[in-house]
Structure formats: C-alpha cells, structure tokens
Structure 1
Amino acid sequence: MHAEQWEPPAVLLAVDLVILTLRDARLHVLLVERGIEPYRGALALPGGFLRDEHEGIEEAARRELSEEAGLVDVHLETLGVYGEPGRDPRGRVVSIAHLAIAPRLPEPVAGTDAAGACWTPVEDALSSGVELAFDHRQIMSDGVERARTKLEYTALATAFCGETFTISELQQVYEAVWGIRLDPRNFYRKVQGSRGFIVADGPMRRTANGRPARLFRAGPVQMLNPPMVRSAHVMPQGGSAVQTPAEGGGQA
C-alpha cells in the first residue's frame, strides 16, 4: 500500500478515573450512574472523552472529575492504558486511566452525563452482583491493586490517620485497604522496624478498652525501608486467615 493511500484509523481518546478513599474504616471507590447510552443506568467509573485536540490528558481527567463528581484538587497519577478492540460499542476507544487515593474526600455531586454519583465499598463494587459498564471492573481492580501496593512501599497509610494516631489505628488503615486482618504483634514489630515510617509523639492515650496506647505521627520518610509486604498467612483458632506484613521479600 502506498503511503498516500493509507488513512489512519478512527480512534477516540478518553479518560477514566479510579478514585479511592476510606469511609467508616472501609475502602470505597467513586462510581457514577450512567445517564446516557451505552450502558444507561449501569454503574461506571467517572470519565469521558477528550473535549478536542487541544485538551491535555490530565486536563481532561480533572475536568471529568469536576463535572461528574464535583471533586477538585485531588492528586491524580496515571494508572494505565486500556484500548482493547470492542471495549466500547461506540467504536475504537482508547482510555487513559488515572488513580487518586486520598483521605476524607467529600460526598460527590453528579453532573453532565452522570445520573448519580456515590461512594461504594470496593468489595461490593468488584462483586459479580454489580453491573459495571465497559471494562471498568478490570480498571477498578487494577487501581485497587495499585493502592494496596502503594501501602506496602510508601508511607501513604499515615495520610488516612489523624495528626497523631495509635499503631492500632494505623493497622486499621492497612486492614481496610488490603481487605484482610493482621496480627497486631507482628504488625507492631514491622512498623517499628521500618525506619522513619512513624515517630513517637506526645503522651499516651487511653483506648476504648481503657488501656493506655502510645501516640505516633507520620515520620520523615516517604518510601518504606524495609517495605510492609503482604506475604505470610496464619490460620488462628477459628480457622480465619490472618495475613501479616513481612520485612523485605521474606516471610513473616
């Protein structure tokens, strides 16, 4: 085929957003109810097409975040590119997915082509009983796994706590994001062994059971060394699995 006979294929460029936060000690994802076809009435990730050839990728992502969920000033990072043929019945659509993980995000406000917006527990959103538009279940699953990995290697978990917190409160963040229960003693040992992750702060505080608990605040480091790797499984009495974080790549 001669170069002058070749025509580029018609490809539409879109953005999709995986927005995660903690609410009531559970990891939640932002979903919108589609108000237009295709998949009208189904739940989906916020997103949409680039407005024109002059709009940047991140600019489009932030515009969609504002228009469909009423959220601004949220840190976004690129999650991945999704462009399998047939992923969208309207034609060949390539989506640049973005991820945001932030504490204490407000209630969303639906707009433009979204009939509604809501925070949904991740385990519910990923269940087979929830219909998700397009390939958004895969995108969401990838985003959740990225978030879980970030808790292994970065100090992100402290952002979900108050200015000061107990190690038990920090453990609750890990359990909510990882979706598992952790052994408290092993967790305490691993956290204390990760240099600069947290530092002691202020007097001890009495917990709900009346026992005093030491307070901590976020340390100076952003990358954990050694990381809090999800690795070993322990079967306690009662038969429920407990997963414990291990140092480095070894077993706890």
Structure 2
Amino acid sequence: MPYDPSAFPPFAVTVDLVVLTVRGHALCALVVRRGESPYRGRWALPGGFVRIDEDLEAAAARELAEETGLHAQGSDEPHGGVHLEQLATYGDPRRDPRMRVVSVAYLVLAPDLPTPTAGGDAHSVRWAPVDTLVAAGDEHGGEGKRPDPLAFDHGRILADGVERARSKIEYSSLATAFCPPEFTVGELRRVYEVVWGVALDPRNFHRKVTGTPGFLVPTGGTTTRQGGRPAQLFRAGGATLLNPPMLRPEI
C-alpha cells in the first residue's frame, strides 16, 4: 500500500513528570499552575514538548530544571542527584485538546526539598499531598469525579507514578532516594510509612533493613536531629534489589 501523508496527521510528543517527595508526614507531588491555554490556571504535572533535537530523557531532565529548578542524577547543578526513571506512555487521542499528543511520563524521587521556583509556562509551583491530588480524579474520570481535577489526564499519570513508587520500594533500594545522603533507620522507616500509608514496628523494621545485604552501610557517625539518644547514621549501599523484599503490609 503506497504511503499517504494525509492518513498520518502531525502529532507531538511530550514528557510529563511525577515528582514525589516526603514532606512532614505526607507523600507529596510537585504540581504547577498552568499559565497558558489549554487549562490555564489549573494545576498540572510539570512537563512539556520534546524538542526535535533531543531524546526523551534529555527532555525530561530539561523540563524538570526549567519548571522546578531541580536537576536529575549526574548533574553538577544545585539539587543534583534526584532519581529519574521512565514510568509509562499515554496516547489517548482525547488527552490534549490542541492536537494528537503522546506523552512519555517519568517518575522523579527526591529528598525533602524546599518549594522550587516556577519557570517556563508555569505560573506557580507547589508541593501537594498525593492523597488530595489523586482523589481529585482526572479529566476523563467519568461519574463521581471530584471538582477541579488536574489538567489533561494527569490524575491518572500521578496515580500510576504513586503506585510505581509504592510497589518498587518493596523489592528495591529506591526508598533511599527519598532520604538525604546520610540518614537514620528511623528516617528511612518514616519514608516507608508515608509512602505506604501504614505504621511499621520499629524493631522489626530495623532488623530487616540492617540485615539485608548491601541495603545500608554504616557511616560511623551519629545524629540527635530526631531527638533522644544519638542514632546511628547510614548511607545507601550498592544493592539495587532487596533479598528478601520488604513486603507492604496488608491494610
């Protein structure tokens, strides 16, 4: 069959970023208030169009820096070192009212950070608890969706990113990406409790994480920043997979 250009109308590729961190006692996502149409004034995930001369990961890293001031692993810029991984691809023909747009979403995990600086086409930026954002639904949520959802299909993308983080910290060392370079077992436990939304037994947790080969490495230092007696400091070990895994408790 001969090639017919009219049968393949132009479309664009974008990247959307699910940026998660632990702030206080909540798992939070970074959202930007859109400064341009469509959905002007609505909250959305940071992201944008992929340029003709860049690959997907480069586009994701650029949008992360432009819209939030954060930088991916390997960067020498301030806040370098946040975890960046590809999440999923979204291609519903109705997801963007401007034209046919396929989005490649990325998951970004970072330690507790101050509010980033808005840039690009973002009017403002903030951290928001994921429970409130996911509960808002998405634009195609159907019956029962909440008012003022995230723009586009970002509610669905956010929910997928949160579930990826919750499931992946069971079998990988990814939870340490939410921690500073040196952290206590108690601080790591708080990450698991906030991401999973459950309370964990401190003694059982300490035994599991310190007994898992390659998970944690003692730094030789201590801290009293949590109050009470000095607590031993650790850093992430070389293990990427946990054996045995840290199974999520049933709620």
Give the TM-score, by structure 1 length.
0.79
DSSP 3-state at the match of 1:126:
helix
Partner of 2:76: none
Partner of 2:128: 120
Partner of 1:243: none
Supply the AA of the counterpart residue of 2:149: E
User: C-alpha separation between the residues in 2 aligned to 1:161 and 1:6?
Assistant: 50
Q: CA 1:154 to 1:37, structure 2 compared with 1: closer, same or farther past 3 Å?
A: same
Residue of structure 2 aligned with 1:134, choices 138, 145, 152: 152
Partner of 2:197: 179
Residue of structure 2 aligned with 1:194, choices 209, 212, 215: 212
* Residue 30, structure 1, aligned to residue 38, structure 2: no
User: C-alpha separation between the residues in 2 aligned to 1:58 and 1:198?
Assistant: 29
Supply the AA of the counterpart residue of 1:152: E
| Offset of residue 170 of structure 1 | 1.8
User: C-alpha separation between the residues in 2 aligned to 1:162 and 1:113?
Assistant: 30
DSSP 3-state at the match of 2:48:
strand
Partner of 1:153: 171
User: C-alpha separation between the residues in 2 aligned to 1:59 and 1:204?
Assistant: 38
Which consecutive residues of structure 1, in runs of 5 or more, have no partner in the other structure? 234-252
User: C-alpha separation between the residues in 2 aligned to 1:3 and 1:33?
Assistant: 45
Higher deviation after alignment, 55-64 or 204-213: 204-213
User: C-alpha separation between the residues in 1 aligned to 2:202 and 2:162?
Assistant: 24
Partner of 2:104: 96
Supply the AA of the counterpart residue of 1:9: P
| Offset of residue 165 of structure 1 | 4.0
Partner of 2:12: 12
* Residue 221, structure 1, aligned to residue 244, structure 2: no
DSSP 3-state at the match of 1:229:
coil
Supply the AA of the counterpart residue of 2:44: A
The root-mean-square deviation of aligned C-alpha atoms, in Å, is: 2.6
| Offset of residue 77 of structure 1 | 1.4
Partner of 2:188: 170
Identity between Structure 1 and Structure 2 (%): 55
Q: CA 1:208 to 1:118, structure 2 compared with 1: closer, same or farther past 3 Å?
A: closer
User: C-alpha separation between the residues in 1 aligned to 2:158 and 2:5?
Assistant: 36
| Offset of residue 159 of structure 1 | 4.0
User: C-alpha separation between the residues in 2 aligned to 1:200 and 1:5?
Assistant: 63
User: C-alpha separation between the residues in 2 aligned to 1:90 and 1:217?
Assistant: 46
DSSP 3-state at the match of 1:65:
helix
User: C-alpha separation between the residues in 2 aligned to 1:108 and 1:49?
Assistant: 21
1:195–1:226 CA contact under 8 A, matched in 2: no
Partner of 1:65: 64
Which consecutive residues of structure 2, in runs of 5 or more, have no partner in the other structure? 73-81, 137-145
Q: CA 1:25 to 1:54, structure 2 compared with 1: closer, same or farther past 3 Å?
A: same
Supply the AA of the counterpart residue of 1:172: R
* Residue 55, structure 1, aligned to residue 54, structure 2: yes
User: C-alpha separation between the residues in 2 aligned to 1:158 and 1:49?
Assistant: 31
Higher deviation after alignment, 207-216 or 152-161: 207-216
Aligned length: 231
1:16–1:45 CA contact under 8 A, matched in 2: yes
Q: CA 1:114 to 1:186, structure 2 compared with 1: closer, same or farther past 3 Å?
A: same
Q: Could you say which structure has the larger radius of gyration?
A: 1
Partner of 2:77: none
Partner of 2:40: 40
Give the TM-score, by structure 2 length.
0.80
* CA-to-aligned-CA distance 1:173-228 (integer Å, 9 cap, x gap): 10111222223343234324422322455477779674675554433423211111
Higher deviation after alignment, 60-69 or 114-123: 60-69
* CA-to-aligned-CA distance 1:4-55 (integer Å, 9 cap, x gap): 445323221111111112222422111000111111111000111123x323
